[in-house]
Amino acid sequence: MNDINETRAQALLSEMTLEEKIYQVTAEMLFHVDETYEAKRNPLHGSYRNPGHFMHYRREKPATPAEVTEQINADVLRSIEAQPHHIPPIENGEALHGAQWGMGTNFPQPIALASSFDPEMVERVGGAIGKECAAVGVRQVFSPVVNVVRDCRWGRTVETYGEDVALSCDMGAAMCRGLEQNGVIATPKHFADNYAAGGRDSNYSETSERTLREVFLPPFKACFDAGAQSVMAAYNAWEGVPCSANERLLTEILRDEWGFDGFVVSDYCGVQGVHTAHRLVDSDAKAAAMALKAGLDVILPYNSFDTVREALDKGYLTEEELDRNVLRILKAKLRLGLFEAPTRDPAAADPLVRCAAHKELALEAARETIVLLKNEAVLPLERRAVRRVGVFGQSADKIPIGSNYSGPYGTPWQGEDAPTPLEALRAYLGSDAEVIFGESSEIETLAPTCDVNLYFAAIVEGEGSDRSDLRLPSITVHQNREQDAGLIVDEARQEIKEDQEASIRRLCAADPKAIVVLQNGAPIDMSAWINRTKAVIEAWYAGEQGAKALTEILFGETNPSAKLPVTIPKSVGQLPLFYAYKPSGRGYAYCDDDGKPQFPFGFGLSYTGFSLTDAQMSVDDHGVEVTCDVTNTGSRAGTQVLQLYLGSHDCCVVRPVKELKAYARVSLEPGETKRAVLKLDRDAFCYYDQKLVFGLHDGVHSLLLGTSSEQIDFTFEVAVSGGKLFRREIS
């Protein structure tokens, strides 16, 4: 099939005029779909931001899936008719945690999905998102974000799968499979290193090539191995060259080394940024030529036709060089089947989007993503003993989806059957209990009269919201920096009406059993109140059904099983803080701090207990297998996430103290025992040597089996010598 597409693309390319070719590498985005839309739209471009994203702006009721489909169909057909060779365009959009052309099913944010340690579930989520995109004609999405977070001050932490390389690889690949299997091109981003020291978004990267290869590149490679056909270049520069025009990244590594056969798109206005932001060249035309020559194929989001034409006319770019870009785009369109089936059926869109199965999947995902961080005999709540519930905190009456990539442009995401935590509690308890939403000023009078008190913390996070302070914001207008937040990300603004830390302390004084619920996308500094509360839940932004899942967990209908995909520090002064650090000549503490986190990577509590026994390891030429009996020692059914880390020493280069290499969710009834099996192939023991050659180099590796990065129950050792694996007895 690839040979046929190559032949068809070459034949089509040979017939195209220079003007047609330029249009294929350029794009168009129109914000407001109104009576002027058709007159403004140029149908000759090869790529469009789907109009569905903008159709809901200032409408009394959001556009239906069928209406979005009809508009996209009209756009596509108009383009085909206008094209001399009837080349269909690609309609693209966002799909970070749901199909963002409108009111698609809203799943948990990626950082929450990573907490599940369940790639199979994430693939099903990606499949549902893919179906809801393809149903209306959105055939390329700028998702997933697979940048590894090593500094949680980065505002886009919420978009990622956390700090771990292996988990980011697995989750990113799973999302890509789900999208691609349903006829949508996955576009992992931002290639390859998208933030700088201090968690500053899109700032100049000082990451070494070793760190790039060991940490930041593997998740992208995993996505391409899973079938992702596109990739988005990052805004920032690496090794002195902006990623949008970095030949080392876009050609030498991506294509020559990895064999990537898809196409590269710019982040919005990223190519112009080579000129305006990075000041590397003195014109947009030179920037466009540099990017296209380096391996970038589509300049997003606006019309860049005149810019590319100028680059050709002035000799900055040749037609032969442009042909390489166009050929890659044509092959992608052929692989996608756009020539044969360019439009979708509007009648099929309405029954599919937010169908019962997808909403049930959103609920299932939320159940697996909420982390129980602290529980001193407070949870689960006994429903029969609860007659009055006090609810405090601003986020209690908001659907827990987060502001980041949640809903179309200019219009909040809406779903009549998507409850807020307050609504979910009231629906669950019904007439059996009174649920009161109290102001902070009422804590001392109201809390003592309630059987249960909950505080829901509020924070704004996302693109344009890098943080220098990890504490909960208080008495302020908390918002992203609109000018830096991206062209299609709404300004995330929230007025914080109280000192949240003080409110939590006051609530815990009024009720020592008060429960704190965090709804956020990145770690929170809890040092001012963590020792005063007996129960803390990290609910993340758990999606449209997240409030229902949270209520189930509070009352024990669901047993929490999620684990942290990031390290939670005690304070911002510890950052950057992540578990897979490399050993050094000194310790990792400060004179006033032991250097340990508040909660470690991989941590998460349950309402039942588990024991790990009879762990065994076998080694052969293919790799290593570790087995272990896992027993549910409590009285409730539950799921434990078994985690296997690798700690290496006696290698030819310094290696991390430990790295997650395998994990398994084990679900057990009370008293039940299952034999868990974790396998590592030979590649798990490979690393880059001093010359940056990846291979099975000599060394000694400790296999650390446990239930978090700090809770290790069993240790085994494997030695590598002469390209062979050997079991080594621990002395």
**Within a 13 Å sphere around the CA of 293, how many CA atoms are in the beta-carbon half?**
14
> What pLDDT does residue 485 have?
41
Coil, helix or strand at residue 727: strand
The pLDDT tens digits of the residues spanning 101-134 come to 999 999 999 999 999 999 999 999 999 999 999 9
Distance CA 519, CA 293 (A): 44
Structural domains of the chain sorted by starting position, each given as residue range(s) with its CATH number in brackets: 2-351 (3.20.20.300), 368-574 (3.40.50.1700), 610-728 (2.60.40.10)
Beta-carbon contacts of 591 under 8 Å, excluding residues fewer than 6 positions away, are: none
Cβ contact 506:444 at 8 Å? yes
> Which residues lie closer than 8 Å to 308 by C-beta, 6 or more apart?
22, 25, 26, 285, 288, 292, 299, 317, 322
**Separation of alpha carbons 50 and 79, rounded Å:** 13
CB-based burial, 195-230: b 16+ in 10 Å, e otherwise: bbeebbbbbebebeeebbbbbbbbbbbbbbebebbb
> What pLDDT does 496 receive?
84
Q: How far apart are CA 79 and CA 36, in angstroms?
A: 17
- The per-residue pLDDT for 482 is 46
The C-alpha atoms of residue 16 and residue 330 are separated, in whole angstroms, by 11
**Closest by Cα among 231, 211, 34, 25 to 140:** 231
Q: Cβ–Cβ contacts within 10 Å for residue 463, how many?
A: 23
pLDDT at 497: 86
The string of DSSP letters for 486-526 reads -SSSPP-EEEE-S-HHHHHHHHHHH-TT-EEEE--SS----
Give the DSSP H/E element, type plus range, for residue 679: strand 673-681
Strands 230-232 and 27-28: what pairing?
A: unpaired
Given a cut of 70, the residues of the chain with pLDDT beneath it are 1-2, 477-494, 731
Q: Convert the pLDDT of each residue in 436-462 to its tens digit.
A: 999 999 999 999 999 999 999 989 888
**Token reading at 292:** 């296209």
| DSSP one-letter string for 149-197 | -S-TTSGGGGGS--S-HHHHHHHHHHHHHHHHTTT-EE--BSBS--EEG
Tell me the C-alpha distance between 499 and 715, whole Å.
46
- Report the relative pairing of strands 535-538 and 27-28 from DSSP bridges: unpaired
CA angle 348, 351, 355 (to 5 degrees): 135
Strand 610-620 vs strand 241-242: parallel, antiparallel, or unpaired? unpaired
Q: Is the dihedral of CA 67, 68, 74, 77 positive or negative?
A: negative
User: What is the enclosing helix (H) or strand (E) of 287?
Assistant: helix 284-294
For residue 226, the SS3 value is: coil
Residue partners of 230: CB distance under 8 A and separation at least 6: 140, 185, 186, 187, 262, 263, 264, 265, 332
CA-to-CA dists, residue 334 to 327, 328, 411, 466, 578, angstroms: 11, 10, 34, 40, 43
* Measured distance CA(228)–CA(231) in Å, rounded: 8
With residue 553 as reference, give the H or E element that holds it.
helix 546-554
pLDDT computed for residue 493 by the predictor = 63
Tell me which residue has tokens 């065994």: 616
d(CA 588, CA 582): 10
Q: Is 600 helix (H, G, I), strand (E, B) or coil?
A: coil
Q: Check: CB of residue 545 under 8 Å from CB of residue 362.
A: yes
Q: What is the pLDDT of residue 483?
A: 46
Look at strands 388-392 and 452-457 and give their pairing. parallel
Question: DSSP assignment, residue 73?
Answer: H
Angle at 68 between CA 62 and CA 70, to 5 degrees: 135
